[in-house]
Structure 1
Amino acid sequence: MSAPDPQQMREAMSRFATGVAIVTTTLRGRDHAMTAGSIASVSLDPPLVLVCIRLDGGLHDPLLESGIWGLSVLSAKGRATASWLATPGRPLLGQLERVPHHRGVSGVALIDDALVTLECRTTAAYPGGDHTIVVGEVIDWEPGERPEDPLIHYRSQYWSPR
């Protein structure tokens, strides 16, 4: 038995269904965003969540430098947004122009029609191979206006329960 190579690891982990979220930050007046499946609740008291950010991704350095970030958990209606913000090589300047969003109390962009949005302040960052594991304290949150079906990522595709 041997450890999987990166492609085999991707295949193995694609068999774990996850919710889909958009992570955002704002630095020097510029919005940065990416689609994330590697998020988790860490603690209820204090309220902590984590997100895993790829080292060579466009969000990594701005998120660590700003220290404030948003997390928008997508409903099934967010498939186009998830696809767009996961597109490699997309233009980073103005990437949220085609995505309906609003500003949270911290000033970060939060995706409209999300199931829930969280605004977080980074409390710790840990090396994790080709990612950084960023832990943030939730400083504000908004539940979605109406319950919707979630957007799910499974076997490298987006799904919804219906």
Structure 2
Amino acid sequence: MSDSLRQRVQALGLTLPTPSQPAANYINYVISQNQLFVSGQIPMVDGKPAYVGRLGESLSDEEGAQAAELAALGLLGQLSHALGDDLSRLVRILRLGVFIASSGDFQRQSGVANGASNLLVNALGEKGRHVRTAVGVSSLPAGVAVEVDAIFELQP
């Protein structure tokens, strides 16, 4: 497999997005010792928020999974930027956080979060396997359905 994240994503028929810029007073990522912390990423299409709404109300589970995949693609864009597109520097994903805007009675957050998890494993192989938290919330930035963040382990 290629050590270029961009090439791996292209092999899946997807395009790695240009990393988005922070919308407030924070930075996209921080490297501390052997860990890379990436700020929350929302689903974006052509620089605009996508999949606006809440699961269990205006969006289907399938649309939620697509939103999670798109947000995870943004996460990979940040990872590629942080590593200069050199995956040989990546040991693995340690933790994935998936936040899902959902109605109070929606209980399928894990299925929605699989959209992100599946993309990460497909793009990164074993390095993409991770522990995960899938949390239902009442709202997210720009009204989107999903936001993801992650912690990665890097080579020393």
Of the two structures, which has the highest relative contact order with CA contacts closer than 8 Å and spacing of 6 or more?
2
The answer to which structure has the higher helix fraction is 2
More strand by share: 1
TM-score bracket, shorter-length normalisation: under 0.3
Using the size of structure 1 for normalisation, the TM-score is 0.25
